Structure 1
Amino acid sequence: MEMPTEQCGICSRQVLFSETVHVLIHTRTETVVVDYYVCRGCYEEVAPAFDEPSV
């Protein structure tokens, strides 16, 4: 049985769907929301940019 794949919205690699992270980005532009599946490697690289600063 073939496992479903998804194209990473950042690096464009085809990865197993189970190895993706669903990312929604509110752009505050006409596009409004960008909806991507990204591979875990790309997610781990960009996720720290969205961490809340410590108070």
Structure 2
Amino acid sequence: MMLPLPQGRVDRGTPIEAACRIIILEDQLEEALRINAEFCPHRRIGESKGRR
């Protein structure tokens, strides 16, 4: 069963260039989070700088 995508997604007329940019940004975010985790292994996602 295929669920409908929310309005504003590719099947609703979003330009293909914008869809590709979203995918690229998601990939860049994933890589940045991975690199950050390597440099700061003691920190968890969502943890503020002042708390440990």
Query: How high is the TM-score relative to the length of structure 1?
Result: 0.25
Larger Rg: 2
Q: Which has the higher contact order (CA 8 A, sep 6+)?
A: 1
Higher helix fraction: Structure 1 or Structure 2? Answer: 2
TM-score normalised over the length of structure 2: 0.26
